[in-house]
Chain A
């Protein structure tokens, strides 16, 4: 597609349920990032994927969070046993390659609300 696509755009779920968020990066982009943005706050790094290299998971806040990416395409972020503090917008971004000057292109995010 023309841009980074995220689904669903909104998700409301009960505390304790598992959720899966999806990101379709721009075709050909080898780098993919996940961020969390709580209301009125900055972007919190979660994880990034670069080609076939091992992902950098250093930002995942707990073992309830995991992410996968199939090759250089779709990525899914899974949150197990959701808690109210997981409520946030989850943003995905992709960039063309490892070139340092390549900017990230962001999707519109998934707004997650935990009741």
Chain B
């Protein structure tokens, strides 16, 4: 099966940097995704990692360590609009196509 853990809530200040961690256990691994979900809206894709290391995309970066079953999403120069839930999702399982989400981390950015 697949098990994913993330902190429930985090708070940060506008302009700061925040790191959201995700640990996972999966039978079969075929990549890790991060999604952003604003309240009442559908999730939107942020990043994908399948190899170890850091992927940078503007203010957002995502890191993966497959041996540790660990990823993080790094958000720089936080803006108020970054207040949202951040979902870690792992693709794996039989056939390596089952995408399972963690419960998400609710981030509140304050002025």
Q: Check B95 for interface membership: any CB of A closer than 8 A.
A: yes
Q: Measured between alpha carbons, how far is A53 from B95 in the docked complex, in Å?
A: 10
Judging by beta carbons under 8 Å apart, are B97 and A48 in contact?
yes
B93: A residues at CB distance < 8 A: 56, 58
Q: Measured between alpha carbons, how far is A100 from B100 in the docked complex, in Å?
A: 13
Interface bracket on B: 20 to 34
B31: A residues at CB distance < 8 A: 100-101
B103: A residues at CB distance < 8 A: 41-42
Inter-chain CB contacts under 8 Å: number: 58
Judging by beta carbons under 8 Å apart, are A43 and B50 in contact?
no
Q: Measured between alpha carbons, how far is A101 from B34 in the docked complex, in Å?
A: 12
Judging by beta carbons under 8 Å apart, are A103 and B42 in contact?
no
Q: Which of B43, B45, B50, B97 contacts A98 (CB 8 A)?
A: B97
User: Which residues from chain A sit less than 8 Å from chain B, CB to CB?
Assistant: 31, 33, 35, 41-45, 48, 50, 53, 56, 58, 91, 98, 100-101, 103-109
